Structure 1
Amino acid sequence: MSTYPAWAAGQRITGAGLRASLPEFITKTTDESVTNSTVLQADDHLQAAVEAGATYTFELQLFMGAGDSNGDVKFGWDLPAGSTLHFAGTGAHTVAITTGTNGPVEFFAIRNATAASVLGFGISSGANTWVKLEGIVTVTTAGLLRLMWAQNVATATATRVLAGSWMELRRRA
Structure 2
Amino acid sequence: MPFKTFTDGAVLQADADVDRFFIQQVHALKTADESITSSTTLQNDDQLLVPLLANSQYWIELFAIYNAATASDMSITFSVPAGAALYWSHGGLAGGATSSVDRISRNFLDETGSGWIGGTGGDAVVMGEGRVATGATAGNLQLRWAQNTSGATATIVKAGSILIAQRLTV
Residue ranges of structure 2 left out of the alignment (5+ in a row): none
* Residue identity in the other structure for 1:89: H
| Partners of 1:21 and 1:114 in 2: CA distance | 28
| Partners of 2:10 and 2:158 in 1: CA distance | 37
* Residue identity in the other structure for 1:52: A
1:53-64 mapped onto 2 (5 Å cutoff):
53-64=55-66
1:157 aligns with 2:153: yes
- How far is 1:97 from its partner? 1.8
- How far is 1:168 from its partner? 1.1
User: Secondary structure of the equivalent of 1:164?
Assistant: coil
* Residue identity in the other structure for 1:33: S
Residue ranges of structure 1 left out of the alignment (5+ in a row): 6-10
Cα pair distance change 1:76/1:27, threshold 3 Å: same
* Residue identity in the other structure for 2:154: A
TM-score (normalizing by structure 2): 0.84
1:41-56 mapped onto 2 (5 Å cutoff):
41-56=43-58
User: Secondary structure of the equivalent of 1:108?
Assistant: coil
CA RMSD in angstroms comes to 2.3
| Partners of 1:37 and 1:156 in 2: CA distance | 9
Structure 1 stretches (4+) deviating beyond 3 angstroms? 11-19
Equivalent pairs: percent with the same residue?
Answer: 30
Cα pair distance change 1:163/1:88, threshold 3 Å: same
- How far is 1:14 from its partner? 5.2
1:127-146 mapped onto 2 (5 Å cutoff):
127-140=122-135, 141-146=137-142
Contact preservation (8 Å) 2:37, 2:150: yes
| Partners of 1:136 and 1:13 in 2: CA distance | 33
The alignment of Structure 1 onto Structure 2 pairs a total of residues equal to: 159
Partner of 1:30: 32
Cα pair distance change 1:38/1:145, threshold 3 Å: same
